[in-house]
């Protein structure tokens, strides 16, 4: 059974790799991918927040050196933030505390995403999560910084990173195929997470950054294909 799972997973990875360089490769254009991206609500929600934050930041003025440093720090830290959310929230194992089952919506949606990586709506952050996530981020921007301008700089950067994450994650799961060396590395990194082993390769917008530092970027040839890569926590589900 395990050998069969390994063989099928290897075949999927080979097919995806062939789609990059094979003589019969097919790929949607970047323009068509972008057009389809904007058919979903999450990009519009994030773009609206980004536009509002940029407008507010320009009105607020009060530019200082910290406004240039903050985005640099946030961009450098983002792969680690992404890794932590992916490991601790998206791959959360359902737990029962007394009579209460703790199983967040993000975790449930991510399990469904692993089960069907080609289901495009499951690629995006659920709108029910954004209903509380974006107001919370805005509140942090307005209340947790020593001056309004710096808080708005934080909000602009956070919204831009969120929109960039949604675009990259969508693009990886779309029919668009890599045409540059950098994007090919990012694309393959995430495909390995979905088709090889869900315990590694957690970053989405970069390849070999936080994963290398946190030791979740092994040589794919040295990693056994996981039989639960499409059915996260399958053993726990059976146990319950």
The fraction of the chain above a pLDDT of 90, given in percent, is 81
pLDDT tens profile 85-103: 999 999 999 999 888 999 9
Please spell the DSSP secondary structure of the chain, one letter per residue: -HHHHHHHHHHHHHHHHHHHHSTT-----HHHHHHHHTTSHHHHHHHHHHHHHHHHHHHH----HHHHHHHHHHHHHHHHHHHHHIIIIITPPPEEETTEEE--HHHHHHHHHHH-TT-GGGGSPPHHHHHHHHHHHHHHHHHSSSSHHHHHHHHHHHHHHHHHHHHHHHHHHSS----SHHHHHHHHHHHHHHHT-TTS---SSSSSSHHHHTT----GGGSPPPTTTTSTTHHHHHH-
* pLDDT given for residue 161 in this prediction: 98
* pLDDT given for residue 236 in this prediction: 45
**pTM to 2 decimal places:** 0.86
Which residues fall within 8 angstroms of residue 147, CB to CB, at 6 or more apart? 62
Q: How far apart are CA 60 and CA 74, in angstroms?
A: 21
Domain ranges of the chain: 2-7+33-239
Q: How confident is the model at residue 237 (pLDDT cuts 50, 70, 90)?
A: very low
Q: Is the pLDDT of residue 2 over 70?
A: no
* pLDDT given for residue 78 in this prediction: 98
Q: Is the pLDDT of residue 23 over 80?
A: no
The predicted model gives 34-58 an average pLDDT of 97
* pLDDT given for residue 17 in this prediction: 54
pLDDT tens profile 69-89: 999 999 999 999 999 999 999
pLDDT tens profile 207-223: 989 999 999 999 999 99
The fraction of the chain above a pLDDT of 70, given in percent, is 86
Counting Cβ atoms within 10 Å, is residue 240 exposed (0-12), middle (13-18) or buried (19+)? Answer: exposed
Q: How confident is the model at residue 18 (pLDDT cuts 50, 70, 90)?
A: low
């Amino acid at each position: 059974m395990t050998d069969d799972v390994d063989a099928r997973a290897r075949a999927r990875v080979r097919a995806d790799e062939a789609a990059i360089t094979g003589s019969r490769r097919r790929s949607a254009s970047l323009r068509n991918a972008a057009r389809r991206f904007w058919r979903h609500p999450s990009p519009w929600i994030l773009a609206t927040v980004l536009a509002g934050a940029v407008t507010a930041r320009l009105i607020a003025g009060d530019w200082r050196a910290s406004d240039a440093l903050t985005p640099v720090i946030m961009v450098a830290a983002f792969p680690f933030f992404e890794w932590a959310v992916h490991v601790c929230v998206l791959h959360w194992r359902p737990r029962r505390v007394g009579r209460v089952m703790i199983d967040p919506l993000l975790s449930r949606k991510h399990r469904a995403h692993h089960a069907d990586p080609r289901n495009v709506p499951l690629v995006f952050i659920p709108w029910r999560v954004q209903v509380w996530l974006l107001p919370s981020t805005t509140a942090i921007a307005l209340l947790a910084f020593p001056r309004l301008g710096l808080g708005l700089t934080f909000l602009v950067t956070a919204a831009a990173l969120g929109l960039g994450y949604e675009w990259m994650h969508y693009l990886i799961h779309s029919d668009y195929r890599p045409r540059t060396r950098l994007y090919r590395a990012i694309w393959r990194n995430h495909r390995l997470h979905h088709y090889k082993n869900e315990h590694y390769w957690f970053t989405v917008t970069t390849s070999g950054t936080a994963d290398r530092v946190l030791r979740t970027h092994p040589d794919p040839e040295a990693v056994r294909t996981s039989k639960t890569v499409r059915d996260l926590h399958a053993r726990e589900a059976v146990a319950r």
